[in-house]
Chains A and B, each alone.
Chain A
Amino acid sequence: GESVGLHLPTLSVQEGDNSIINCAYSNSASDYFIWYKQESGKGPQFIIDIRSNMDKRQGQRVTVLLNKTVKHLSLQIAATQPGDSAVYFCAESSGGFKTIFGAGTRLFVKA
């Protein structure tokens, strides 16, 4: 069945270092991928997305990489800041509205 998962449930990084959060997906028909950030008590916040016809997309301090061969997605955060501490979800969608979320990775940023 469809599944979106994350390799590591928690990630701890030093402030200023780069963070890499990984995600595996199993539905090869998925054509749209999104990363969300969720802080405690809030709804998920859109960070960046990528469509299946791309393998890299950059935003402000964030980069998403998509490797369709191994069905792997990653989120890179440059110069991680304390405000980046949150749970990060990858999500996938295949040709429509239904979005499937993974379980999340909690990012801790140490000052």
Chain B
Amino acid sequence: DTGVSQDPRHKITKRGQNVTFRCDPISEHNRLYWYRQTLGQGPEFLTYFQNEAQLEKSRLLSDRFSAERPKGSFSTLEIQRTEQGDSAMYLCASSLGVLAGEQETQYFGPGTRLLVL
């Protein structure tokens, strides 16, 4: 257990429905990341927060996707009008960033597995 938690662990939904996932990072970590992972592939970067500010979004993050981190602690990822292609594992990671531009170890949560029927 890395200390990063995600909820729910599994979600089955019908195409067209909206879903929301939650991530609770390690408490002192100021950086939070969302990734998507499909079967047999490595995680793909979606978006990144430094405290409450969303600093980067991947082109993978269509306008149906929105992420928030309102108080700089937990984060939510919402997918609107889900499509079958959204079926994947959604992973959250957090890190303690000290120096701007320097990479630091990211600790991953267990992920939320989404199945869109």
Contact = CB atoms under 8 A, between A and B. Distances in A.
Interface of A: 4, 31-32, 34, 36, 41-46, 49, 89, 91, 93, 95-104
B2 A41 contact: no
A97 B111 contact: no
Interface of B is mostly: loop
Contact of A46 (B48, B103, B107): B107
B62 interface: no
Interface residues on B, range: 20 to 34
A93 B31 CA distance: 15
6 contacts: A34-B105, A43-B4, A44-B91, A45-B108, A97-B31, A99-B106
Contact of A43 (B41, B55, B109): B109
A97 B97 contact: yes
A99 B44 CA distance: 8
Contacts of B31: 97
Contacts of B105: 34, 46, 49
B85 interface: no
Given A34-B105, A49-B105, A103-B40, A43 B45 contact: no
A90 to B, nearest CB: 9
B103 A93 contact: yes
B110 interface: yes
B33 A97 contact: yes
A91 B55 CA distance: 21
A104 B41 contact: yes
B33 A89 contact: no
Contacts of B56: 97-98
B2 to A, nearest CB: 7
Contacts of A89: 42-43
Interface string B83-117: 00000000101000100011101111111000000
Nearest to A94: B103
